Amino acid sequence: MTDGPWLGDACSLVDALRAGALHPTEALETALAAIEGSSLNAFCHLDADAARAAAAAADVTLPFGGLPVGIKELEPVAGWPFTEGSLVFADRVAGRDSTQVTRLRAAGAVPVGQTTASEFGGINFTATKLHGVTRNPWDPGRTPGGSSGGSAAAVAGGLVPLASGGDGGGSIRIPAGFTGLVGLKATYGRIPRGPETLQPPLTVTLGCLARSVRDVARWFDVCNGFDPRDTLSLPRIGGWEAGLGSVDLAGRTAVVAVDLGTAVVEPRVATVVTEAAEQLVAAAGLKRVDPSVALPQGGFEWALSNLVGLVAELGDRYPDCADDLTPEIQIGMNLATRHFDVHTAGRADQFRIALNERVADLFDQVDLVFCATNPDVAFAAEGPMATVVGDVDLVATYGFDRAIGNHGALTIPANLTGLPAVSIPAGTVDGRPVGLQVIARHHEERLLLDLARLAERERPWPLVAPGAPT
Whether 423 is catalytic is no
**Within its chain, how far is the Cα of 265 from the centroid?**
20
pLDDT of residue 339: 73
Cβ count within 10 A of residue 18: 14
Whether 118 is catalytic is no
> Judging by beta carbons within 10 Å of its beta carbon (0-12, 13-18, 19+), is residue 46 exposed, middle or buried?
middle
pTM of the model: 0.97
State the Cα–Cα distance between residues 98 and 95, nearest whole angstrom.
10
Whether 171 is catalytic is yes
The HSE-up count of residue 233 (CA atoms within 13 Å, CB side) is: 23
Considering 86, 151, 164, 171, which one is annotated as catalytic?
171
Say which residues have a Cβ less than 8 Å from residue 63's Cβ, sequence separation at least 6. 14, 107, 108, 218, 221, 222
pLDDT of residue 209: 98
Considering 86, 98, 147, 164, which one is annotated as catalytic?
147
> For residue 230, which amino acid is it?
D
Are 402 and 263 within 8 A, CB to CB? no
> For residue 446, which amino acid is it?
R
> For residue 8, which amino acid is it?
G
pLDDT of residue 298: 67
Burial profile 51-70: b = 16 or more Cβ within 10 angstroms, e = fewer = bbebbeebebebbbbbbbbb
Are 461 and 272 within 8 A, CB to CB? no
Considering 72, 86, 305, 423, which one is annotated as catalytic?
72
- 3-state SS, one letter per residue, for the chain: CCCCCCCCCHHHHHHHHHHCCCCHHHHHHHHHHHHHHCCCCCEEEECHHHHHHHHHCCCCCCCCCCCEEEEECCCCCCCCECCCCCHHHCCCECCCCCHHHHHHHHCCCEEEEEECCCHHHCCCCCEECCCEECCECCECCECCCCCCHHHHHHHHCCCCCEEEEEECCCCCHHHHHHHCCEEEECCCCCCCCCCCCCCCCCCCEEEEEECCHHHHHHHHHHHCCCECCECCCCCCCCCCCCCCCCCCCCCCEEEECCCCCCCCCCHHHHHHHHHHHHHHHHHHCCEECCCCCCCCCCHHHHHHHHHHHHHHHHHHHCCCCHHHCCHHHHHHHHHHHHHCCHHHHHHHHHHHHHHHHHHHHHHCCCCEEEEECCCCCCCECCCCCCCEECCEEHHHHHCHHHHHHCCCCCCHHHHHHCCCEEEEEEEEECCEEEEEEEEECCCCHHHHHHHHHHHHHHCCCCCCCCCCCC
State the Cα–Cα distance between residues 153 and 137, nearest whole angstrom.
6
Domains and CATH numbers, the chain: 10-223 (3.90.1300.10), 253-446 (3.90.1300.10)
Q: What is the pLDDT along the chain (470 residues), one digit of tens a residue?
A: 457 899 999 999 999 999 999 999 999 999 999 999 999 999 999 999 999 999 999 999 999 999 999 999 999 999 999 999 999 999 999 999 999 999 999 999 999 999 999 999 999 999 999 999 999 999 999 999 999 999 999 999 999 999 999 999 999 999 999 999 999 999 999 999 989 888 778 899 999 999 999 999 999 999 999 999 999 999 999 999 999 999 999 999 999 999 999 999 999 999 999 999 999 999 999 999 999 998 887 666 677 777 888 988 999 999 999 999 999 999 889 888 887 777 777 888 888 899 999 999 999 999 999 999 999 999 999 999 988 999 998 888 877 777 778 888 999 999 999 999 999 999 999 999 999 999 999 999 999 999 999 999 999 999 999 988 65
